[in-house]
Amino acid sequence: MRAAPTLAGGFPDISEMTVARQVHWQRWLAAAAILVVLAAIGRAFVNGQIEWTYVSRFLTAKVILEGITNTMVMAVLAMALGIVLGVVVAIMRLSSNPVLASVAAGYTWLFRGTPLILQLLLWFNLALVFPTIGIPGLWSARAVDVMTPFLSALLGLGINQGAYTSEVMRAGMLSVDVGQYEAAQAIGMGRLRALRRIILPQAMRVVIPPLGNEFIGMVKATSLASVIQYPEVLHNAENIYYANSRVIELLIVAGSWYLLVVSILTPLQMLLERRFARGTLQITR
């Protein structure tokens, strides 16, 4: 193409002009409307049948603090169990051994297919099925003694979580290029070492956001363990309001604790994500 010797006329020179600021009046209107609604709700709560002094008193009551500690202990342990199971089951599902793959698929089917609260009740009432449990000849115990609320909740929540986590893990492992696995094999790594050293660290980057989601779900799911007498925060709040009838106040106390914990988890997830983003372009200096 030839460069034009002169440019065509009729186009005004706008090169010196600036772009005017837009007035987003709709946004202001929407924000104002939301503030009005929030103020109305706040007013309703302040004037409603809520004794806020009870809320502030019980927010740091010993029983409630113990409850939230138990909630967190259970959430962390059950999630750890869920992740371990999830990794193992995901590896089994991706294995070429059909027995392992179907066992894994069956596990996921069973524990994703039934309500969590039902599973918790089953674990807790295991004594009805097996009065004594143990290893024949070595060790045995009465199931009622073994299946404490703590252990029942841990098994129920952790094993259920494993079924979900395995799918997250499987997606993560599938997201890693097969060339990575071949390169690992080419330097003499066996299957498991390649998974541990090469595939899983890369999969982690992909699975942390969904796992963060799952963990937040887990923190709240621990509240279901109240039905099997595990003394987590909601269970303890309930016990208090059975005695003093301040139902809403104590529910607000428990709710505030859940919100606080979940708010702390989000920045923690960011830190983890940064840790596993090693080598990706975002952190190049």
Partner 1 sequence: MTQPLVAIRSVSKNFGEFQALNHVSLDVWAGEVLCLIGASGSGKTTLLRCINQLTQVDSGGIWLDGELLGVREEGGRLHRLTERHIARQRLKTGMVFQRFNLFPHRTALENITEGPVQVQRRSREDAREEAMELLARVGLAAKADAYPSQLSGGQQQRVAIARALAMKPMLMLFDEPTSALDPELVGEVLTVMKELARSGMTMMVVTHELGFAREVADTVVYMDHGAIVESGPAAEVLGKPREVRTQSFLSAVI
Residue (10 or 179) nearer to partner 1, CB: 179
* Closer of 47 and 282 to partner 1 (Cβ): 282
Q: How far apart are CA 94 and CA 167, in angstroms?
A: 11
How many CB atoms within 10 Å of residue 205?
19
Q: Is 228 in the site for partner 1 (CB under 8 A)?
A: no
Instruction: Report the nearest approach of partner 1 to the CB of residue 179 (Å).
Output: 4
Query: Based on CB atoms, which residue is closest to partner 1, 98 or 188?
Result: 188
- Please give the Cα distance from 202 to 195 (Å, whole number): 10
The length of the chain in residues reads 285
Query: Does the footprint of partner 1 cover residue 190 (CB under 8 A)?
Result: yes
- Taking the C-alpha atoms of residue 76 and residue 157, their distance in angstroms, rounded to an integer, is 11
Nearer to partner 1, 208 or 233 (CB): 208
Cα–Cα distance between 211 and 219 in angstroms, integer? 12
Work out whether 281 is an interface residue with partner 1 (CB under 8 A): yes
Burial category of 17 from C-beta neighbours within 10 Å (exposed 0-12, middle 13-18, buried 19 and up): exposed
Q: Which stretch binds partner 1 (CB under 8 A): 127-135, 185-193, 208-216, 252-260?
A: 185-193
Residue 140, H or E segment = strand 139-142
98 scored as a contact of partner 1 (CB under 8 A): no
The residues with which 135 forms a beta bridge, in sequence order, are 139
Q: What's the rounded Cα separation, in Å, for the pair 119 and 127?
A: 14
* d(C-alpha 250, C-alpha 50), whole Å: 10
Question: Considering the rule CB under 8 A, would residue 280 count as an interface residue with partner 1?
Answer: yes
Residues whose CB is less than 8 angstroms from the CB of residue 100 and which lie 6 or more positions away in sequence, other chains included: 92, 93
Task: Give the range of 5-13, 33-41, 195-203, 206-214 binding partner 1 by CB under 8 A.
Answer: 195-203
Residue choice 202, 223, 226, 236 for contact with partner 1 (CB under 8 A): 202
CB 229 within 8 A of CB 149: yes
Which of 64, 85, 126, 198 is close enough to bind partner 1 by CB under 8 A?
Answer: 198
Nearer to partner 1 among residue 51 and residue 177 (C-beta): 177
Residues within window 247-276 making contact with partner 1, judged by CB under 8 A = 276
The site for partner 1, by CB under 8 A, has a size of 25
Span of 83-91, 117-125, 140-148, 174-182 interacting with partner 1 by CB under 8 A: 174-182
In the complex, the residues that contact partner 1 under the rule CB under 8 A are 177, 179-180, 182-191, 193, 197-198, 201-202, 205, 276, 278-281, 284
